[in-house]
Structure 1
Amino acid sequence: MSGKWVTRVIILIYLVIGVFIAWDHGYLTLSWLRTVASALLAILLWWLIPLGVNLHIHG
């Protein structure tokens, strides 16, 4: 049981470091992250869009 926990923590640390390095070298930008966040909101909260809710994230 604890082996799975350690593996998940290592994977999480690996991904966090990867995101930081990608951000630092210009692979991830704020506009790209806003686009991805807006898309995720639209996918998860799709039922709000027909009601007229704007899920676009603006800076």
Structure 2
Amino acid sequence: MRRGGGISIIGVIYLLIGVAVAGFRGYLVDWTVIGNVIEGILAVLVWPVVLLGVDLHGLIP
């Protein structure tokens, strides 16, 4: 029997790691500017790229 929709435990772990990485790299600060909000969300979603050294700061004007 298959469970309904929702997010898997792997998805939750991925997002938690993303939040931690984004926080440590300084992407989760100053949420008053829309560009910073977009950078923060993007950093959480693509955290492996951030760990490889790609700088997302200034990506969104």
Shared fold (TM-score, shorter chain, > 0.5): no
Q: Highest Rg: 1 or 2?
A: 1
Q: Higher helix proportion, which one?
A: 1
Task: Using CA pairs under 8 Å that are at least 6 residues apart, name the structure with larger relative contact order, 1 or 2.
Answer: 2
* Length-normalised TM-score, structure 2: 0.41
